[in-house]
Amino acid sequence: MTKLSICIPVEAAAQDALPLVTAILENRNADIEIVLAKSSDISLADALLSAVSSDGRARIIDTDQGTARQLLWRHAVSAATGDWVTLVNPGDMIESDLSIMVAFLETSSPGIDALAWNAFQIDPHAEPGKASSVAVPASSHISTIDKTTMLKAFFNWEGSLNSPKMPFGLYHAAIRRSLVDTVLQLPEPQDWSTPVPQYEWAAKVLLFANGLAFSPRSMSVISVTPFVAQSPLHSWNFPFHSGLGLAGAVAEVQFHVLRELSSPWGGGHQAFVRALMIDCMMETTREAYVGKGNGYFAALSEFEGGRLAPLFRPEFHDVRPRDTRRGLHGDAILIDRFIGGAQTPQEFYAVAKSLLTPMAVLCRPQVD
């Protein structure tokens, strides 16, 4: 069986997947498969079709016309055959040698079924001289992570910004076949839809994982796209949803996943309100800030008798300082977003990789 499946869901407005597919397939020795999933009404460029057909490790699967993102992800994962599965978007980058990492974990830590790492985040619309620094972690060891700590970080919003600081899941993370099968056995969502299925997978992976492993070494790049609010599709008596903002969308996902398991949502406390305020404060125009703030305040006023509403006091800042430092600061090396002339996530990773511990060294068996 293939060691690692890399799923790539392709939507109508997605970035070109050719640079990502080409970069992955350049490693002829990688024990991987690429699963490109798309709706039947989406046509792929000839160059991408040629790249896929020329390498037996890549294939394209079609879903029904107009398949929603949430179900497209599920369809892609269902078609994957690898011992481990990960998912990235077409405009992202992921290192094919990740297959070495998961193979190493199987022998060194057989109880681990979820792996996470630091993913670089690249703004595709950034301009040279105006972009913040990108942090390259200076360490690269693999360690186990306490599940209770991650449960608190995700469901209780401990230490979060406008979304929980919890890297485990399917998106820019990897899960073992046994855990994939467990998640897929859960009922398909029928009465709701979310624009952020990465958080649905994160919630389910975290709840059902047996062991968590994390490496600060970056193994992928996210091409960051702004969250687009969407009207919710559900009939629940729950005021937070994806039509309000990212924090509301995550809360909606948490509520749904726990609802399916007959468990109450416990995120309603001060840390969650702080995440809502940060979500508002990330807006760069006063109009958007006021609109989002009013929406969140109305939801808080409706939730549990409005007990949390007095805590909601965001502030508007239209200008934010950029971190343009360079060099070693703390446990990270800060580098230019456009280092070496890199424009795309693939080009950035090709340069940044020279600062990272080689996978073969990181996964070398220890000798007593």
Instruction: Give per-residue pLDDT as tens, 63-108.
Output: 988 788 999 999 999 999 999 999 999 999 999 999 999 999 999 9
For residues 287 and 295, what is the distance between their CA atoms, to the nearest angstrom?
A: 12
Helical residues (DSSP H) of 26-109, grouped into ranges: 46-53, 69-79, 98-108
- For 211-278, give the DSSP string: -EEEE-S--EEEE-------------S----TTT-HHHHHHHHHHHHHHHTT------SHHHHHHHHH
* DSSP letter, residue 171: B
Q: How many CA atoms lie within 13 A of 185 on its CB side?
A: 7
Q: Which of 188, 8, 23, 11 is nearest to 89 (CA)?
A: 8
Q: Which of 189, 185, 215, 210 is nearest to 200 (CA)?
A: 189
**pLDDT of res. 366:** 57
Work out the number of other CB atoms within 10 angstroms of the CB of residue 342. 20
pLDDT in tens, 142-164: 999 999 999 999 999 999 999 99
Q: Which of 368, 367, 361 is nearest to 104 (CA)?
A: 361
pLDDT in tens, 21-63: 999 999 999 999 999 999 988 989 999 999 999 999 999 999 9
- Residue with tokens 């995700």, as numbered in its chain: 154
- Per-residue exposure over 239-260, b if at least 16 CB sit within 10 Å of its own CB, e if not: bbbbebbbbbbbbbbbbbbbbe
* DSSP letter, residue 44: P
For residues 210 and 172, what is the distance between their CA atoms, to the nearest angstrom?
A: 19
Longest alpha-carbon distance in the chain: 62
**pLDDT of res. 367:** 41
Structure-token pair, residue 15: 């970035």
Contact between 10 and 38 under an 8 Å Cβ cutoff? The reply is yes
3-state SS assignment for residue 48: helix
What value does the CA radius of gyration of the chain take, rounded to a whole number of Å?
21
How much is the average pLDDT of 202-226? 96
* DSSP letter, residue 97: T
pLDDT in tens, 102-116: 999 999 999 999 999
- Residue with tokens 């399917």, as numbered in its chain: 170
| Residues making up the chain, counted from first to last | 368
> Which pairs from 56-62 meet CB under 8 Å and 24+ separation?
57/2, 57/25, 57/30, 57/32, 57/33, 58/21, 58/25, 58/33, 58/34, 59/33, 59/34, 59/35, 60/36, 61/35, 61/36, 61/37, 62/37, 62/38
Q: Identify any residues that bridge with 114 across adjacent strands, giving them in sequence order.
A: 175, 212
Specify the pTM: 0.94
Contact between 271 and 263 under an 8 Å Cβ cutoff? The reply is no
Whole-number Cα distances in Å, 336 to 126, 218, 332 = 11, 16, 13
**pLDDT of res. 35:** 98
pLDDT in tens, 266-316: 887 899 999 999 999 999 899 999 999 999 999 999 999 999 999 999 998
pLDDT-derived band at 368, boundaries 50, 70, 90: very low
